[in-house]
Amino acid sequence: MRRALSVASTSPQDVPVGAIILGPDGTELAAAGNERELTGDPTAHAEVLALRRAAASVGEWRLEGCTLVVTLEPCTMCAGALVLARISTLVFGAWEPKTGAVGSLWDVVRDRRLNHQPEVYAGVLEDECARLLRGFFR
């Protein structure tokens, strides 16, 4: 999570969210921060960018055995993307009561109607992750 926090701090013009993807052996496959403002792309969330980069790194879209670590609870788009990518484990920091899709508002990743449900660890370094976001919005 500390690595994701450092990635989140690299884009001062966008909401500071950082995501990293670790391979089954624990090596970092990809890292990304939000790039919506930088690219003008509404889908350029940290999680989506990290998923794209990790898939390119391993040469396929299935990221089975991989872990996504992100500083903020994923939204519906990102939660859906990580389920489709077959991420095995999701670790996130701060809860997002307005748009969170891992338990706050929706629970996409645990929906039994979908073909994949990752293991979830929530609230990791929650205070530090939330503090970074609060500082941005002041």
Please give the domain boundaries of the chain with CATH numbers for all domains: 1-18+26-125 (3.40.140.10)
Residue 78 annotated in ligand binding: yes
Model confidence at 11: pLDDT above 80: no
Residue type, 19: A
| Catalytic residue annotation | 47
Stated as kind and residue range, the H or E segment containing 92 is strand 89-94
Annotated ligand binding at 66? The verdict is: no
State the pTM of this model.
Answer: 0.96
Residue 116 marked ligand-binding: no
Closest CA to 48 of 128, 124, 39: 39
pLDDT digits (tens, 9 = 90+) for 80-105: 999 999 999 999 999 999 999 999 99
